[in-house]
Amino acid sequence: MQYFISLTIIFFSLLLSSCSSETKHNNSLTISTNAWIGYAPLFYAKEKGYLKENNIHLLISVSLGEAADLYSVGRADMLTTTQHEYYALKDAFHLLPVILLDRSNGGDMILSNRTINELQKAKKITAYLEIDSVNAEMLKEFLQHYNIPLKKLHLINKDQAQIEDISAHDNEAILIVTYTPYDISLKKKGFKVITSTKDINSIIVIDALCSSKSIYNKRLKHLKILKTIIDRSVEELMQDKKTSYQLIKKYLRNLSYKEYLASLQSIKWINKPSKELLEHIEPLGYDRKYILP
């Protein structure tokens, strides 16, 4: 009889534990993201405790591709994307942009150890980029804009942490497609910005938080809380840049305060989207009825 009672207690303990775990899972949100100045409000909210208070967690990667992979294998409920990752995943995962974060205004760029004129004359160019990311679209627009044939390029696929280690060899023409904060160490090695999202109007890079339609329908209340947290974080980090820098520099490759201020100038916050912006991006597949105001 005592053995039976013990088994019964164990069974109900396991049952309660399982229910508790399921409730905890159902009440949490996990976001897959990567190091980029446009995601600073998420890093800030994490450090301030705003995310933890609302059972929201971050998975932080070194590249756009790795962040997308973590989402693809089910490690996260949401994903920060440019339009490239959104387009790549939207059909398979019924992905929806639900919170707009920023638009790149020079934060995505192409660096080189050659001038554009020298690149146009070069017989061979080695190009480093994350091929399965918005980097590829940046490179395509650049080549078309400056009439540089793709066949001249030797493309090498690396994540941004690997690209950061590249040196500017004088005997080799190099192109690097990158973004803040990874550009900072490359510039110190002698690479120079030859174009960016600030220079070519046809290059539009928008960062958004995306979720599946299922998460949107089931967790809309939680998503609205997240939107409020992001709005608050943007306001606070812009009002007190010195404090926000100290809190989040570790997520941005420990860039200097001066570099942090410059990085903030390379994006435009759009987490409070205007009617004009929504009309502009709707043809790109961003359905305004799911975007939280």
Segment 192-217, tens digit of pLDDT: 999 999 987 777 899 999 999 999 99
- Number of residues in the chain: 293
Distance of CA 139 to the CA centre of its chain: 18
Which 8-state DSSP code applies to residue 32? E
Residue by residue, DSSP assigns 195-234 as: EETTT-TT---EEEEEEEHHHHHHSHHHHHHHHHHHHHHH
Distance of CA 48 to the CA centre of its chain: 20
* pLDDT at residue 39, rounded to an integer: 97
Of 9-13, 121-125, 242-246, the poorest mean pLDDT is in: 9-13
Quick one: tokens of 250?
Answer: 């570790």
Give the count of beta carbons closer than 10 Å to the beta carbon of residue 146: 14
Tell whether omega for the bond before 283 is within 30 degrees of 0, i.e. cis: no
Helices (H), the chain: 2-26, 40-48, 50-53, 64-72, 83-93, 116-121, 134-145, 160-163, 183-188, 213-218, 220-239, 241-248, 257-264, 275-281
Beta strand 206-212 pairing with 95-104 = antiparallel
Segment 33-61, tens digit of pLDDT: 999 999 999 999 999 999 999 999 999 99
CB 34 within 8 A of CB 60: yes
Quick one: tokens of 210?
Answer: 């995306």
Strands (E), 73-116: 78-81, 95-104, 108-112
> Which one has a higher pLDDT value, 112 or 202?
112
Q: Cα separation of 156 and 151, whole Å?
A: 14
Quick one: tokens of 128?
Answer: 């480093």
Give the count of beta carbons closer than 10 Å to the beta carbon of residue 151: 6
Residue by residue, DSSP assigns 121-146 as: H-S-EEEEE-TTSHHHHHHHHHHHHT
Segment 68-101, tens digit of pLDDT: 999 999 999 999 999 899 999 999 999 999 999 9
